[in-house]
Amino acid sequence: MPARDVANTRSNAPGKVHAAIVHNQRLSGATEAAATPQYSSGVRNSPSAAIVDPESMLIHDEHEDVSMVNPLSSGPPKYITDPAGKPYYLGHTSTWSLTIRLLNLTHEALYKCPFPSAANDIDSMTYDLEWNGLRSQAIPDIRGLPAIDHALFLINATKFHTGQMFHLFDEAKFMKQFYHFYENPAENIRTAGLWLPHFLVIIALGKAFVGAQNRGNMPPGSELFRAAFMMLPDYSFLWKDPSTSAEILCAFALYLQSIDWRTSAHNMVHGYHTDLSTRSTNEQDLMRCQNIWWTVYILERQISVLMGTPLSISDNDINASLPLLPDSLLKTATLVIHVKLSKALSRIMNALYRDKGDLGSTFVKSTQDVLQRVADVAPELRENFPVPDQEALSGISRVAGYLNLLYHQCIMLATRPFLFMLVEIRAKSTDPQIRVPAPIQLLLQICLESAKKTSQILGSLQEQNLLGIN
């Protein structure tokens, strides 16, 4: 039986293949130039960090061409059901959805039967907030409010874990209200307004970040988060204080995402796309509005990718400026790189995950193009947030780890359709000989290298107890 091709072959376009190979070699060098982490020669020679010479992977066939579509976004929408029969959409860019698809493919290939629905990790099943979503008119019972020193500790924990990446509160205004509230909590709880649910969700995040002990299947800080949610007014009232409201919703989205409530997290930030900078008159409020806008943008892009849902607004329609933080050039660099990588996610979704029918050989070219845009961020990332050598005296910073992980997430998101295609063909074929065209081989190699580096960065963060995993 002849070997099965991953992609169709044609005899009339040798120039396309040669161009694709050359482009891939440049991409391999460009993405590798990010060099996350920067390993010593000893580590580089280890099997886990080895870099395969692209020349060794080339298939020298001048008549070879590549034609394929993205198997993760083509065809009818994919769903799974829970034990009760409720359908759940498998978003095309969602890592969770990819895991479910791979589990179903491999289970079917090995056991000749569908993957059991009871074994699927469905949204919002990991943790239970023990709340039916109905709001109470009365002030919720928050007798477990932490003492002022403990509350400060939890606020600082949230700042440490999120402050460089996301804007969740205006520190000067927030802390002024904090100290006023703790002068007489029993009395001020009735007049704290929006600040109180804002405060509760910030310290709920703090509890989650410091790894407070769970109560059964309730996540850390859930009692504070639940109280904050019950205090939150209707959306039609939130817009009376748009800046604070946006900060609260961003904090809610982060907490919900962290406890595996993906759909609810997406709803928190979906649709909030006004250029807030035009609403401000003084410089301080202008900077706050800019920070809020870009936090909403970053969360919306990243949660949309996690959900596999369409983006809410085109990058071409965004005119908001990035804030300039003269007192913290590193924080400015953090935001600039964070936004650039979030925009890269947009390009990947728009170029590679739209169902446009048969894209032919343009899919490989489109992948190469978006990878080049991702690689363009590498020099700036390497200059400001390098990942230290494993033998270095200083450890990895949380911000460097986060941004480098996001960089490699972009690369893997762009290249994993080829990996899924290969697994799908192998699972459905009885022929062990699968011929992979050279351009796709190199894209798979780029995906593999980013996966290795992701694992290494996560290992470094875990060694320093920066992942929040016990």
Q: Which of 23-37, 294-308, 315-329, 390-404 is the least confident region?
A: 23-37
Angle between helices 262-269 and 283-307 (to 10 degrees): 140
Asked if 340 and 294 count as a contact pair (C-beta separation under 8 A), the reply is: no
Q: Which of 126-135, 148-157, 166-175 is the least confident region?
A: 126-135
d(CA 188, CA 298): 34
Please give the pLDDT value at position 13.
Answer: 42
Please give the pLDDT value at position 451.
Answer: 93
Please give the pLDDT value at position 290.
Answer: 81
More confident residue, 88 or 302: 302
- Encoded tokens for 245: 């409201």
Q: What values do phi and psi take at 26, rounded to 5? A: -65, -40
Query: Which residue's structure tokens are 């085109």?
Result: 314
| Residue partners of 245: CB distance under 8 A and separation at least 6 | 194, 238, 239
365 burial (CB, 10 Å; 0-12 / 13-18 / 19+) is middle
Q: Which of 102-106, 185-189, 228-232, 319-323 is the least confident region?
A: 319-323
Please give the pLDDT value at position 17.
Answer: 44
